[in-house]
Chain A
């Protein structure tokens, strides 16, 4: 297999704000003039040309407050909280936007600076409606933190008493409360630059400027893909998820209801952050205990349905290849993954003509819901009408997905509530749970096997890695470990925006039992080269789709994994705030460590999955029954709003 391909360099479309504000840093920092001396508060440091004052201060351990700055986004320089005094300049300079190109002396806490920052805070607070104690971001709000840091003890310039905009609750996923907006434009940059969806933009001018949606349409009627990346980057409570926890508590309290929760791989890697832990410390088993303590009747592992997805989606891929290569029928290739509901809605809106590429397999969340309300209900003799299925997800788009009208193949709503990591943490707190010190306990059967192939779904490249492990072994009958140490398929891992890899099929084995009803033999795959790609963030997805449309290199791929969120699920819109590259990397380490320590690391070896096929989906994957319960179809939504 090839090393990661450098063909698709990470290039943010981005706009003006980065293009024009960034001074390129020299590649060779050894060159004369590449390093520049800067003195900040009498501390001296040499930094590469183009480093911003903010970055230099960070290296020196000097704290400069920020609001509109976000490590994932291009520079904006609008909030002016990070202003500093630079000698020789009449005005204060925004440290986040000031590239160091000549030796300068900087002062970060002079009278002028302190007064300006305090005024900026006072002005923001004067227009910031609402009380901290009734805000979802209480204790995790950047504005509140700064007000505290700067000792704000009264509203110097008054305070708005009535809401101006009201709250937009129309979306299943995202609630907009613009009365709390401080105009930092992080959501604008997230949505336009990072995700290329374009729901928000500043509209109006002067004092009337605000962040708007197109013609003030409510969120539910926009091209929003519900990825929630804007929530993760909002410094205040202006954007938050649509929280179903009240309804879930009510179901728990209702003795006639059997409340079942499935927990996705990503939340366990990050929920500790809500309880003061460093990122990257998984609390999988503490969480199980806490969930039961809250009163849930069963706690299942979404890894089970992730493995199920691999079987269905992998089989679908082999069938598509068979159709194309042997039967010579027209077939949509490459096949696209369908696990990420943000991505699914993205392609429905922006590339509806390419929906044929998307695997018809439901996402693990929805498969699990269908299985619980059918197979599990039968097995335990419970009326599915009395089962309430909750899905703990790192994701806000999952809230939308479970409410898609077609997701009722079990005869009931397959998943009743999508719950985010943050919201579960809140439920724990409400129940007085000290999560970190909880006793450990395992998942409930019959879906309790710990599998590494499921857990890595939480990171970008994980679906592909699981798929390769299973598909390769099913086709060749060989062990993947012969190609990759410990079955770690390193070329598809990492955080590069688009990754490409090739996997030669050197031999083929006999048709495995699972596929016997579908294929006569596998000889046609002999000496084939499986080409795959992985991408995350819908801006990268756009690049991939455009490449395919123009007949570029990626159009030769057979299978491509798409994740709507940067970093994959571990960077999902329902994950703890804040987020940045470092935090996402720590979560990824936790996920891969759990994979490494699992006994079962290949989806087709998951005993719960094989049992399901032998007892319930007896006709095998991609059969009539599995199609009814485990597969779905998509809508050509398009971009038009009228």
Chain B
């Protein structure tokens, strides 16, 4: 019996290797497919995968246990219910929904019902922050779920009559469009124009535009492309970072769907500029439902010779794009972690230097850019650097797409030029009575009213576009706690300050909740926060205590000396 089982598994793995490739970089796609077949990754499956691609079983387990979508111990239910636990959904009433799911199913989160029908899990940001609380069941999304609907959903599942809120892909919720979203450019126009330009002209135009990375770090795109273009390497890669995991961000989800052609134009232009033949879209696992749609766009482009050999008759330029799915790991949004993940490893950020532009995917020069950056780049090629330059501030050119959620009347997607003040932004979205605003998601800063005059731009309040608004009733300590819980879970776990430091900060919050934290100890924790900021290995670790530190600073009077609620 066991032998037969093993033979069957080996056969399946061989088939998957034909589909995904034979080396380690195929590990994640293979595991994703196997998990679909078995509902989890049984011991024997992990062993056979390991032996088949020439690594050790424990390495496969290391990878599988890193990504939250994989299960190694027990089979998942037929319906995996993932409730978003991130701040915006939390503010929108996640607690009640969670309680009701537990009541309906008689299990706790993290468990599977005995009949194997349901698994209840928390997940981090589903990118539905403006329509929370959000629930994902298998690959279908549900928005604005309340306790009553929770029970309805369970009933529908039981009857195998599950109707998603969304037909295929999440509809966009654009509240305010600007020059980027309202661009009037026909698909492929940018690419056609770019292919008539020289590589150096493309990079020069991007440089002139002053475009900086839209993911949040703000590295000048032209420099990245130029370094990768100049780096020696037979193979070069273009990677689109569509691992939009920052709590409070959902603009890439919209862009991937609404501006697909511009994105693919941008990636193809990038490939042309640096001399790459292969590209990846690293799509986060939570956006699985989008994959089919993107695949369709890719094959359409292949049939139009916009991808593949000798693109548009250009005999020196061949390029194709592969979609790779993430599997639930926020840290993979960090570019070196993303590359590790593409290579089939745990998504652990690398030491830098060297940087991906010379030592990226499998050691080759690689550019990793955000979805929005590629779209901006494509438009800049079409419309010129000056068009882009007109918007924004001296140091932050252009407009930016923002994901706005939390306590405001009009949450959704907004396009604003850089340089907007927080006050102006709050007026636009109907959040004038805000007590605090979180700029840049969990890794950003939480600012109070006294700082609302500050501007949103790389030189002042930089961000990847996540803005979360906290109304007057918000308990800021709970906000800090939610963010820290996020980092305790999503740290990759390799470096000491981030792995072991964040739990200490979280313990500190728990002391504060009980009104049991001295100012001396709080100051010690603040110092620890500073250490985490400067001594962690990657950007995630370095920004993980930001929210904690800014909330402690800005809302100290609200936080100290609490009288705990009676148990």
Contacts and interface: CB of A to CB of B under 8 A. Distances in A.
Interface string A83-125: 1000000111010011101000000000010011001100110
A514 interface: no
Interface in B463-487: 487
B62 A201 contact: yes
A78 to B, nearest CB: 4
Contact of A98 (B61, B353, B492): B353
A640 interface: yes
Nearest to A96: B351
Interface in A469-510: none
A20 B350 contact: yes
B495 A79 contact: yes
Interface string B45-63: 0110001000111110110
Interface string B470-512: 0000000000000000011111111111011111100100000
B178 interface: no
Contact of A79 (B44, B47, B496, B524): B496
Interface in B334-351: 340, 343, 345-346, 350-351
Contacts of A98: 351, 353
Interface in B348-364: 350-351, 353-354, 359, 363
A75 B61 contact: no
B488 A120 contact: no
Contact of B499 (A94, A207, A223, A640): A207
A96 to B, nearest CB: 9
Contact of A640 (B47, B493, B496): B47
A221 to B, nearest CB: 12
A356 interface: no
Contacts of A15: 345
Nearest to A77: B351
B65 A99 contact: no
B53 to A, nearest CB: 13
Contact of A115 (B66, B68, B359, B531): B531
Interface string B529-562: 0110111110000100000000000000000000
Contacts of B495: 77-80
Given A199-B58, A202-B346, A20 B354 contact: yes
B496 A80 contact: yes
A212 B57 CA distance: 11
B51 A639 contact: yes
A413 to B, nearest CB: 32
A17 B351 CA distance: 8
A99 B353 contact: yes
Interface of B: 2, 43-44, 46-47, 51, 55-59, 61-62, 65-68, 72, 329, 340, 343, 345-346, 350-351, 353-354, 359, 363, 487-497, 499-504, 507, 524, 527-528, 530-531, 533-537, 542
Contacts of B43: 215, 641-642
8 contacts: A16-B340, A80-B536, A97-B351, A120-B496, A126-B504, A201-B61, A203-B62, A641-B47
Interface string A1-43: 0000000000000011101110100000000000000000000
Contacts of B527: 115, 119
A83 B537 CA distance: 10
A247 to B, nearest CB: 32
Closest 5 CB pairs of A and B: A198-B56, A209-B493, A201-B62, A123-B500, A97-B351
B501 A16 contact: no
Contacts of B58: 198-201, 203, 212-214
A123 B497 contact: yes
A80 B46 CA distance: 32
A208 interface: yes
A205 B348 CA distance: 10
Given A16-B340, A91-B535, A127-B500, A203 B65 contact: yes
Interface in A106-153: 112, 115-116, 119-120, 123-124, 126-127
A198 B350 contact: no
Given A205-B65, A207-B491, A75 B351 contact: yes
Contacts of B491: 205-207, 209
A612 interface: no
A158 B534 CA distance: 22
Given A20-B351, A201-B58, 18 more contacts: A79-B496, A81-B496, A94-B351, A98-B353, A116-B497, A119-B501, A119-B535, A123-B497, A126-B504, A199-B56, A199-B58, A202-B494, A206-B491, A214-B46, A214-B47, A642-B43, A642-B44, A642-B47
A207 B537 contact: no
A183 interface: yes
A156 interface: yes
A495 to B, nearest CB: 26
Contacts of B351: 20-21, 75, 77, 94, 97-98
Contacts of A641: 43, 47, 57
Contacts of B524: 156
A66 to B, nearest CB: 13
B494 A209 contact: yes
A616 interface: no
A16 B350 contact: yes
Contacts of B497: 80, 116, 119-120, 123
A81 B499 CA distance: 14
Given A120-B497, A215-B43, A642-B47, A205 B537 contact: no
Nearest to A83: B535
Contacts of B507: 158
Contacts of B55: 198
A157 interface: yes
A119 B493 contact: no
A91 B533 contact: yes
B501 A123 contact: yes
Contacts of A83: 535
A124 B537 CA distance: 16
A545 B518 CA distance: 63
Given A123-B504, A124-B496, A204-B493, A99 B59 contact: no
A99 B352 CA distance: 9
Contacts of B57: 198, 214, 639, 641
Most chain-A Cβ atoms within 10 A of its Cβ — which of B66, B68, B494, B533? B494
Contacts of B490: 205-206
B485 to A, nearest CB: 10
The interface centre, meaning the residue of B51, B57, B61, B354 with most chain A CB atoms within 10 A of its CB, is B57
A642 B2 contact: yes
A80 B535 contact: yes
A574 to B, nearest CB: 24
Most interface-central of B46, B72, B487, B500 (chain A CB within 10 A)? B500
A99 B358 CA distance: 14
A198 B496 CA distance: 23
A503 B491 CA distance: 57
A192 interface: yes
A20 B363 contact: yes
Nearest to A122: B528
A120 B170 CA distance: 44
Contact of B329 (A79, A115, A197, A205): A205
Contacts of B487: 206
Residue from the set B72, B504, B530 with the largest chain A CB neighbour count within 10 Å: B504
Given A157-B528, A214-B61, A207 B500 contact: yes
A546 to B, nearest CB: 11
B494 A78 contact: yes
B535 A116 contact: yes
B59 A192 contact: yes
B68 A16 contact: no
Contacts of B501: 119, 123
A214 B500 CA distance: 24
A213 B499 CA distance: 20
B534 A206 contact: no
Given A77-B351, A80-B497, A207 B502 contact: yes
Nearest to A123: B500
A21 B531 CA distance: 24
